[in-house]
Amino acid sequence: MSIARSALLRASRSKWLAEQMSNRAFARRAVRRFMPGEKLEDALGACSALAAESFGTVLTQLGENLAALTDAEAVRDHYLGVLDTIKARGVPTEVSVKPTQLGIDLSADACFVNLDALATRAESAGGTLWVDMEDSTYVDRTLDLYRRLKATHPKVGLCLQSYLRRTPADLAALLPLNPAIRLVKGAYAERAEVAFPVKADVDEAFHTLAGDLLAAAAKGGAFPVFGTHDIGLLGRITTRAAELGVKDGAYEIHMLYGIRTGDQRALVRDGRRVRCLISYGKSWFAWYMRRLAERPANVWFVVKSLLPS
């Protein structure tokens, strides 16, 4: 792991830094590179604008570990309202949620009840509910939640991370469920025995896992989603999809708001199904630091964006 990436990931865990930076005007300006605003309406406005350009979108409210189940219920109720709004406006938007926001640290059963309510409402809105994967200590619990949800909700998706050494086995165990899987590289600080520390190994693991998902999709046994901004890697994956006869609509590409916007538009023009992941909320610091850590060169981009033109 590079020194810059390690430093950014350490910073993401600092409550003191989060409190300091969240109140700084320059930091709020910088974070707007990755999110249209802190309010839900800011995010929904971006969803509508992107829909006009033939993009789908995925919404997520920032925030992670909670202190009480009543807080998790409040998050659930917020997302229920979001799903109702999506349905009313007819925007091609889905929702992605973190188990830690819905109470997994406090009660796995309560977290499942919250997720079950959201999956039911997402189905009525015509979309998929996406369950995010957090750091490696949550993998087993999140997989269990997903299996329970999938038993009664066909349109529920799960995120898997290619940098975790265990992911090939996890994917193989999930494929009999005909899963929707959003494959990402991973953005948490992990020990070398848990996750690949070298980027090239993470990239190759991503490509291999993508091939496994596409092979399953060719037989109608999975819905793959590739969450990466690595255009070279996406080129290899789309080529493999064509070789296997997997049509463009049978998989998606998910990319973050504000990153490689030109490439996102080019993918749409080429007929790919692209969704833009849009985050909102006040608890953006840890998420923002992890976004920078994914590609530390983004730090210089942010610095330049803050300088007078």
Residues serving a catalytic function are: 132, 182
Q: How far apart are CA 254 and CA 233, in angstroms?
A: 13
Residues 64, 98: contact at Cβ < 8 Å? Answer: yes
Q: CB neighbours of 254 closer than 8 A, spacing ≥ 6?
A: 58, 182, 225, 226, 227, 274, 275, 276, 277
DSSP 8-state symbol, 104: T
Secondary structure (3-state) at 161: strand
Please check whether residue 128 is in contact with residue 122, taking contact to mean a CB–CB distance below 8 angstroms: yes
How far, in Å, CA of 275 to CA of 54, rounded? Answer: 9
Taken as a whole, the chain contains a residue count of: 309
Q: Strand, coil or helix: what is 109?
A: helix
Q: Dihedral, CA atoms, 242, 174, 130, 261, nearest 10 degrees?
A: -30
- The residues with which 123 forms a beta bridge, in sequence order, are none
Amino acid found at 46: A
Contact 235, 267 (CB under 8 A): no
Six token digits for residue 164: 């975790």
CA distance 100 to 260: 29
Distance separating the N- and C-terminal Cα atoms of the chain: 34
Token pair of 307 as six digits: 């300088």
